[in-house]
Amino acid sequence: MTVKRMDNVGIVVEDLDAAIEFFTELGLNLEGRAPIEGEWAGRVTGLGNQRVEIAMMRTPDGHSRLELSRFLAPPVVADHRNAPVNALGYLRVMFTVEDIDDTLARLRQRGAELVGEVVNYQDTYRLCYIRGPEGILIGLAEELR
Protein backbone atom coordinates (compact mmCIF):
# COMPACT_ATOMS: atom_id res chain seq x y z
CA MET A 1 0.00 0.00 0.00
CA THR A 2 1.29 3.47 -0.87
CA VAL A 3 -1.32 5.90 0.52
CA LYS A 4 -2.14 5.87 4.23
CA ARG A 5 -4.90 8.52 4.05
CA MET A 6 -5.89 11.74 2.33
CA ASP A 7 -4.61 14.48 4.62
CA ASN A 8 -6.37 17.59 3.31
CA VAL A 9 -7.81 19.50 0.38
CA GLY A 10 -6.36 22.97 -0.21
CA ILE A 11 -8.34 25.99 -1.36
CA VAL A 12 -6.85 29.43 -2.06
CA VAL A 13 -9.03 32.35 -0.94
CA GLU A 14 -8.79 36.15 -0.82
CA ASP A 15 -10.67 36.65 2.46
CA LEU A 16 -9.39 34.09 4.95
CA ASP A 17 -11.55 35.34 7.83
CA ALA A 18 -14.77 35.04 5.80
CA ALA A 19 -13.81 31.54 4.61
CA ILE A 20 -13.09 30.44 8.19
CA GLU A 21 -16.47 31.81 9.34
CA PHE A 22 -18.28 30.05 6.49
CA PHE A 23 -16.70 26.64 7.06
CA THR A 24 -17.17 27.02 10.84
CA GLU A 25 -20.88 27.60 10.18
CA LEU A 26 -20.87 24.44 8.06
CA GLY A 27 -19.54 22.56 11.10
CA LEU A 28 -15.78 22.37 10.61
CA ASN A 29 -13.48 23.30 13.47
CA LEU A 30 -10.53 25.67 13.17
CA GLU A 31 -7.57 23.47 14.02
CA GLY A 32 -4.97 26.18 13.60
CA ARG A 33 -3.95 29.30 11.74
CA ALA A 34 -0.40 30.32 10.89
CA PRO A 35 1.83 32.24 8.49
CA ILE A 36 3.92 30.07 6.19
CA GLU A 37 6.83 31.77 4.53
CA GLY A 38 10.37 31.44 3.44
CA GLU A 39 12.58 29.61 1.05
CA TRP A 40 11.74 26.14 2.43
CA ALA A 41 8.02 26.60 1.65
CA GLY A 42 8.80 27.78 -1.85
CA ARG A 43 10.85 24.67 -2.47
CA VAL A 44 7.75 22.56 -1.79
CA THR A 45 5.38 24.59 -4.00
CA GLY A 46 7.84 25.76 -6.63
CA LEU A 47 6.84 29.39 -5.99
CA GLY A 48 10.14 30.64 -4.59
CA ASN A 49 10.09 32.90 -1.54
CA GLN A 50 6.37 32.75 -0.76
CA ARG A 51 4.32 34.29 2.04
CA VAL A 52 1.01 32.58 2.80
CA GLU A 53 -1.43 32.64 5.69
CA ILE A 54 -3.14 29.29 6.19
CA ALA A 55 -6.01 28.02 8.30
CA MET A 56 -6.54 24.31 8.82
CA MET A 57 -10.20 23.33 9.25
CA ARG A 58 -11.06 19.86 10.60
CA THR A 59 -14.28 17.91 10.15
CA PRO A 60 -16.07 16.93 13.38
CA ASP A 61 -15.09 13.26 12.97
CA GLY A 62 -11.42 14.28 12.90
CA HIS A 63 -10.67 12.36 9.70
CA SER A 64 -10.65 15.14 7.07
CA ARG A 65 -9.17 18.60 6.78
CA LEU A 66 -9.54 21.61 4.56
CA GLU A 67 -6.51 23.88 4.22
CA LEU A 68 -7.51 27.46 3.41
CA SER A 69 -4.66 29.60 2.08
CA ARG A 70 -4.36 33.34 1.46
CA PHE A 71 -1.31 34.14 -0.66
CA LEU A 72 0.43 37.42 0.15
CA ALA A 73 3.39 36.74 -2.17
CA PRO A 74 3.73 35.87 -4.93
CA PRO A 75 0.42 37.27 -6.17
CA VAL A 76 -2.38 34.94 -7.25
CA VAL A 77 -2.10 34.18 -10.98
CA ALA A 78 -5.41 32.50 -11.88
CA ASP A 79 -9.00 32.60 -10.72
CA HIS A 80 -11.14 29.45 -10.95
CA ARG A 81 -13.74 30.41 -8.34
CA ASN A 82 -16.64 30.70 -10.72
CA ALA A 83 -15.76 27.84 -13.05
CA PRO A 84 -18.77 25.73 -14.03
CA VAL A 85 -19.25 22.21 -12.69
CA ASN A 86 -17.82 20.69 -15.89
CA ALA A 87 -14.52 22.65 -15.80
CA LEU A 88 -11.24 20.74 -15.79
CA GLY A 89 -9.25 20.54 -12.57
CA TYR A 90 -10.52 21.14 -9.05
CA LEU A 91 -14.25 20.61 -9.06
CA ARG A 92 -15.69 20.64 -5.56
CA VAL A 93 -15.48 19.43 -2.00
CA MET A 94 -18.42 17.29 -0.79
CA PHE A 95 -19.58 17.24 2.83
CA THR A 96 -22.12 14.91 4.42
CA VAL A 97 -24.46 16.92 6.66
CA GLU A 98 -27.15 15.92 9.14
CA ASP A 99 -29.91 18.15 7.73
CA ILE A 100 -29.43 19.65 4.28
CA ASP A 101 -32.32 22.13 4.63
CA ASP A 102 -31.03 23.51 7.93
CA THR A 103 -27.48 23.64 6.57
CA LEU A 104 -28.63 25.55 3.48
CA ALA A 105 -30.58 28.03 5.59
CA ARG A 106 -27.56 28.74 7.81
CA LEU A 107 -25.09 28.97 4.92
CA ARG A 108 -27.36 31.26 2.89
CA GLN A 109 -26.99 33.76 5.74
CA ARG A 110 -23.25 33.64 4.99
CA GLY A 111 -23.77 34.24 1.26
CA ALA A 112 -24.09 30.68 -0.06
CA GLU A 113 -26.10 30.26 -3.26
CA LEU A 114 -27.73 27.06 -4.46
CA VAL A 115 -26.28 26.08 -7.88
CA GLY A 116 -29.15 23.90 -9.11
CA GLU A 117 -31.64 22.31 -6.76
CA VAL A 118 -31.72 19.79 -3.94
CA VAL A 119 -32.36 16.34 -5.45
CA ASN A 120 -33.16 12.89 -4.10
CA TYR A 121 -30.71 10.26 -5.33
CA GLN A 122 -32.27 6.77 -5.27
CA ASP A 123 -33.85 7.39 -1.86
CA THR A 124 -30.33 7.13 -0.42
CA TYR A 125 -29.12 10.77 -0.39
CA ARG A 126 -30.41 14.28 -0.80
CA LEU A 127 -27.74 16.18 -2.73
CA CYS A 128 -27.00 19.70 -3.89
CA TYR A 129 -24.19 22.00 -4.94
CA ILE A 130 -23.73 25.47 -3.51
CA ARG A 131 -21.37 28.33 -4.20
CA GLY A 132 -19.72 29.27 -0.94
CA PRO A 133 -17.32 32.10 -0.12
CA GLU A 134 -15.71 33.58 -3.22
CA GLY A 135 -17.70 31.24 -5.48
CA ILE A 136 -16.11 28.03 -4.18
CA LEU A 137 -18.14 25.03 -5.33
CA ILE A 138 -19.26 22.82 -2.41
CA GLY A 139 -21.37 19.68 -2.46
CA LEU A 140 -23.74 18.80 0.36
CA ALA A 141 -25.14 15.32 0.97
CA GLU A 142 -27.70 14.20 3.52
CA GLU A 143 -27.95 10.45 4.07
CA LEU A 144 -31.55 9.25 4.09
CA ARG A 145 -32.28 6.55 6.62
Over the stretch 44-63, which tens digit does the pLDDT of each residue have? 888 888 999 999 999 999 99
Range of the domain at 47: 9-73
80: in domain: no
On whether both 111 and 56 belong to a single domain, the answer is: no
Q: Where does the pLDDT of residue 6 fall: very low under 50, low under 70, confident under 90, or very high at 90 and above?
A: confident
pLDDT at 56: 97
What CATH code is carried by the domain that includes residue 65? 3.10.180.10
CA atoms within 13 A on the CB side of 131: 12
Name the percent of the chain lying above pLDDT 70: 99
Helix/strand/coil percent split, the chain, to 5: 20, 40, 40
> Do 60 and 101 sit in the same domain of this protein?
no
Residues 98 and 46 in one domain: no
42 phi and psi angles, rounded to 5 deg? -65, -30
Q: Which residues contact 53 (CB under 8 A, 6 or more apart)?
A: 16, 33, 34, 35, 36, 69, 70, 72
Residue 83: pLDDT band (50, 70, 90) is confident
93 has which bridge partners?
A: 138
Structural domains counted in the chain = 2
The pLDDT value given to residue 82: 79
